[in-house]
């Protein structure tokens, strides 16, 4: 069974901020049939991860949107930051310090970048990477709440960050051979596993709070590779060279 665990810097401070933001999150009718007492449902536009724009950078083939295009790409338009009360927990989650300093290393964003480099796009390949977080949400469960077996589609990986985690109530994972396992996570840990694994939360005996998200990691050719392509096969290069400088080596 494959899974990975990361722990953010200053996890206790992060958890306190997230507890506060979730406590003021407006309660409404649940958007999914989940036995969860407080839930940010993920089948509505507010669940897009718009509050960390770097993880929303995405592009499609130009030919998908223009039948006359011969090549190249179309970049998605980045959504604006959403400063409504029900979305501020996402800013804290990814790292609020980045709003003032792009090099700030608080929050969960640095951990996802470490996972991308350590696991998803190994440095031995010589490739760069780009992360896309599709949707994110939180669950806050109280005594008697639970979550059923399920998995996720249209993504490669699942991330679960534990804010409140009673002993023995770690997420259960089932691999493709039917083996069931509970990773030894604790409050302040980020658990990442393949999206195809079915998983569930056992019945809750105390308050449990998590933030979950679906994400993918795409490979990008290195700057050197693309610049070589421009010289050797210019007919196969369709965009400004500045595009490749968006991605870190």
For residue range 173-191, list pLDDT tens digits in order. Answer: 998 999 999 999 999 999 9
**pLDDT higher at 105 or 4:** 4
- State yes or no: pLDDT of 249 exceeds 50: no
- State yes or no: pLDDT of 98 exceeds 90: no
How many Cα atoms sit within 13 Å of 66 on the Cβ side?
10
Of the ranges 25-39, 59-73, 84-98, 230-244, which is most confident?
84-98
- State yes or no: pLDDT of 93 exceeds 80: yes
Domain count, the chain: 1
For residue range 52-79, list pLDDT tens digits in order. Answer: 999 998 888 888 888 888 777 888 888 8
CATH of the domain at 133: 2.60.120
How far is C-alpha 247 from the geometric centre of its chain's CA atoms? 18
**Distance (Å, rounded) from C-alpha 215 to C-alpha 190?**
14
| Lowest model confidence (mean pLDDT) among 116-120, 209-213, 223-227, 244-248 | 244-248
Q: What residues make up the domain containing 52?
A: 4-246
**Distance (Å, rounded) from C-alpha 201 to C-alpha 149?**
8
What average pLDDT does the chain have?
A: 87
What average pLDDT does the segment 166-175 reach?
A: 94
**In sequence order, which residues have a C-beta less than 8 Å from that of residue 95 and are 6 or more positions away?**
52, 104, 105, 106, 107, 108, 109, 110
pLDDT at 39: 74
What average pLDDT does the segment 199-211 reach?
A: 92
């Amino acid at each position: 069974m494959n899974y990975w665990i990361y722990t953010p810097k200053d996890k206790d401070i992060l958890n306190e901020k997230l507890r506060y933001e979730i406590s003021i999150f407006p309660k409404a009718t649940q958007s999914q049939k989940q036995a969860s007492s407080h839930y940010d449902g993920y089948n509505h536009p507010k669940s897009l991860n718009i509050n960390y724009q770097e993880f929303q950078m995405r592009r499609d083939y130009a030919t998908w949107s223009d039948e006359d295009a011969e090549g190249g790409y179309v970049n998605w338009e980045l959504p604006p930051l959403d400063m409504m009360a029900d979305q501020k927990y996402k800013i804290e989650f990814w790292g609020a310090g980045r709003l003032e300093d792009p090099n700030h290393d608080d929050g969960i964003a640095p951990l996802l970048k470490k996972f991308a480099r350590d696991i998803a796009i190994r440095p031995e390949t010589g490739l760069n990477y780009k992360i896309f977080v599709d949707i994110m949400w939180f669950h806050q469960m109280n005594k008697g709440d639970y979550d059923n077996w399920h998995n996720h589609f249209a993504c490669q990986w699942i991330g679960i960050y534990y804010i409140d985690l009673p002993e023995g109530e770690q997420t259960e994972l089932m691999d493709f051979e039917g083996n069931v396992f509970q990773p030894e996570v604790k409050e302040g840990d980020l658990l990442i596993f393949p999206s195809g694994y079915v998983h569930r939360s056992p019945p809750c005996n105390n308050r449990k709070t998590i933030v979950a998200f679906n994400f993918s990691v795409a490979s990008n050719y290195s700057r050197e590779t693309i610049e070589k392509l421009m010289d050797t096969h210019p007919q196969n290069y369709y965009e400004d060279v500045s595009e490749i400088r968006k991605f870190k080596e």
